Structure 1
Amino acid sequence: MLRWIWKYSVKANKIAQTRLMAFILTFCGGFIDAYTYMLRGHTLSAGQTGNIIFFATSLANGNLTGMINRGLTIIGFILGLILVTLLKRYAKNAYWRIFEMIPLIVVSIVLGFLPTSIPNYFIVPITAFGMAMQSGAFRKIEGLGYSNVFTSGNLRKTVLSWSSFYINGDESEKQPAQNYTLLVVAFTTGAVISALLQKMFQVRAIWIASCILVIVNLVYGLMIFRSVNDNGQN
């Protein structure tokens, strides 16, 4: 499998846009979002549409803690996206995406050690920051824009692409429809597995996502290294 991914990636010169990469990152996005919602104050680390609604609800009910938690999470997500833009602009090599995945990896590892008694406004905003960086670093699957940390946009594109394919007979929409369907399945699967594992491992369940992200980052770094070396030899 890894050899196939490597050959495809070098040929297309778009390692970060492979289906498998998008699937794994989106799976982890669903996993972590479900984790923070269920165990860290019913706040979505990446789904800021939901957090805005939660913030408004907390405001209406006079829930100051809820307002702080959701408000800081939204700010953390925004700051993560800004930092992605800055790093991409000033990056001097091909490894910039690796560094942008590190915050989420570190945060997810640390979260597994922290009890639920710790106030969530110390935890979820930094998780949102890491999720935003991952989302900003990996934004395309085979040339198509997508999100790997929430799924509303992917679901919308899935329905529109399949509709164009079946109703309008547009063959060009078949591959996008398949890709977006894959992403919706990945996010949903990640969320479901996260919910199930939390019953057994509680806060430590997030280490599953941590391990996956570490492996992905190492493999991605190796593929970039080989790609850079091959290009240098040609």
Structure 2
Amino acid sequence: MPQDTRFAAICMGFFGGALDVFCHIRFHALLATQTGNIVLLIADLKPDNLYDTVIKLLSIVFFSVGFVSGIYFKAHARTAYWRTYLILPTVISGAILPLVSHNAFIWVPILGWGTGLLMLTFTGVHIENHAVTYMMTSGNYRKMLGAWYHYSLEGKKDGDTKRQAINYTIVVVSFVIGALSASLCERYIGDFTMSVISVSLLLVVIYYTYIVHRDHLEKTNV
């Protein structure tokens, strides 16, 4: 299915790394990695740090609302295009926000909600036939190390083990490249980094929608 291809994995891995780095630099909060956000929230919980505390709380709350909203939309989906619809809010807001606002109290709720929708959209997907998690890559990193260990040191030279190792490496490398790209872009183009990051999602929307339409997957990929 189109959501399980290497192309989707590259784009989504890039987006996950780029989004969290950009938001951490700009707002001192994470939007995709909410467990990390909770850790940062507790670690930075000080009376003189109220601004950062509120921003992190907004991220957690609106991400949660977005994720629950995604569950509702998925449960009532009639065609495979529901994934397209749930990705579009983040694409659109990422492109528009740099033009209209520099306020974190606007950015974080909107992007947090969109990221929650997005996370639900790609819950339970695979890269080919290997389970993968987009936007949070610690699990992918562990699986990458395990696969390369089995292939290199335990003598499991079968094609599937090698393919698995390569697939997880693709996701992890894409995540790292996204993170590095966001860090560099933020220095030179500021808020417009979010517009650049959104391009990776736009590519997913175009690719996914095209494949669903071309292969008539509207009713079989729900």
Which bracket does the TM-score occupy, shorter chain normalised?
Answer: 0.7 to 0.9
Instruction: Tell me the residue number matched to 2:204.
Output: 216
One-letter identity of the residue aligned with 1:203:
D
**Contact 1:45–1:125 (8 Å) recurs in 2:** no
How many aligned positions are there? 216
One-letter identity of the residue aligned with 1:127:
L
Structure 1 segment 1-234 matched on structure 2, within 5 A: 14-39=1-26, 41-60=27-46, 62-116=48-102, 118=103, 120-138=104-122, 139-170=125-156, 171=158, 172-228=160-216
Distance 1:176 1:77, change over 3 A: farther
Distance 1:206 1:230, change over 3 A: closer
Runs of 4+ in 1 over 3 A off after TM superposition: 229-232
Tell me, what secondary structure is at the counterpart of 1:87? helix
What TM-score does the superposition give when structure 2 sets the normalisation length?
Answer: 0.87
**Contact 1:73–1:121 (8 Å) recurs in 2:** no
One-letter identity of the residue aligned with 1:23:
I
User: Identical aligned pairs, as a percentage?
Assistant: 28
Distance 1:82 1:143, change over 3 A: farther
Unaligned residue ranges in structure 1 (runs of 5+): 1-13
**Contact 1:28–1:209 (8 Å) recurs in 2:** yes
RMSD between superposed Cα atoms in Å: 2.3
Tell me the CA shift for residue 178 of structure 1.
Answer: 1.0
The CA distance in 2 between the partners of 1:19 and 1:229, in whole Å, is 18
The CA distance in 1 between the partners of 2:69 and 2:144, in whole Å, is 29
The CA distance in 2 between the partners of 1:219 and 1:131, in whole Å, is 19
What TM-score does the superposition give when structure 1 sets the normalisation length?
Answer: 0.83
| Greater RCO (CA < 8 Å, at least 6 residues apart) | 2
After superposition, the C-alpha distances for 1:162-194 in whole angstroms (9 at most, x for unaligned) are 222223333343222111111110011011111
After superposition, the C-alpha distances for 1:29-77 in whole angstroms (9 at most, x for unaligned) are 21222111112x2111111222112110232455222222112212222
**Contact 1:55–1:67 (8 Å) recurs in 2:** yes
Tell me, what secondary structure is at the counterpart of 2:198? helix
The CA distance in 2 between the partners of 1:145 and 1:107, in whole Å, is 29
**Contact 1:29–1:131 (8 Å) recurs in 2:** no
The CA distance in 2 between the partners of 1:175 and 1:42, in whole Å, is 37
After superposition, the C-alpha distances for 1:79-128 in whole angstroms (9 at most, x for unaligned) are 22222222222111121110110121122112222454x2x243223313
Which one is further off, 184-193 or 157-166? Answer: 157-166
Which one is further off, 100-109 or 71-80? Answer: 71-80
The CA distance in 2 between the partners of 1:61 and 1:183, in whole Å, is 39
